[in-house]
Amino acid sequence: MNKEFFELQPEKVADACVIWLHGLGADRYDFLPVAEVLLQTLKTTRFVFPQAPTRPVTINGGYAMPSWYDIKAMSPARSIDEEQLEASAQSVIALVEKQREAGIDPNRIFLAGFSQGGAVVLHAAFLRWQGPLGGVLALSTYAPTFNENVQLSASQQRIPVLCLHGQYDDVVQNAMGRSAYEQLKQWGVTATWQEYPMTHEVLPEEIRDIGVWLSDRLR
């Protein structure tokens, strides 16, 4: 088994793929139960779960844990290690390329990320990747590298995004997620915002909505 990622294969031959990044302190198996539910309807979709490196996280007292990038401070705005985020985004792009080389159409490759993982996939999809993608799932996340001076390419503008966030999120404030969504809309991206009565977590209702969104794009 590859130590850097885990793959969940569908029963039928895969013709689509979701690359799903976990949050801070979690691991590549964190969203495996969610994918197992989604596979009940997405019968030709492969799920790929990368593993973040284990490294010290400043806001957690320097304790080493799986993290896509170091968070140095929480306020007034989050201070992060952008070089580490960039490296994580490049690892995601490498996985996209790997799926493309395996025969998956990039229009059927999706990037998904929860919390810190979502920040990485938003950066990868809209600030680095230059080809088509099936879409992005941004779960309880934010976009620390977005700014108004960025100019998206036509292919980037065509990448749909589903932004999902808890109304009572006490880790990544709802307003932070909303700000990322609003920036996507300003760029002309087809983005959808959905809130749930939850904190920093995932609800069954949210999983159902993700399944519907993916199915609509994989017809």
State the catalytic residues: 115, 169, 200
Distance in angstroms (rounded) separating the CA atoms of residues 136 and 163: 8
Q: Hey, what are 110's tokens?
A: 């999706």
What tokens appear for 43 in the block? 């019968």
How many Å apart are CA 67 and CA 23, to the nearest integer? 7
CB 42 within 8 A of CB 10: yes
* Assigned token pair, 189: 């991206």
> Hey, what are 63's tokens?
């304790």
* CB contact at 8 A, 140 and 165: yes
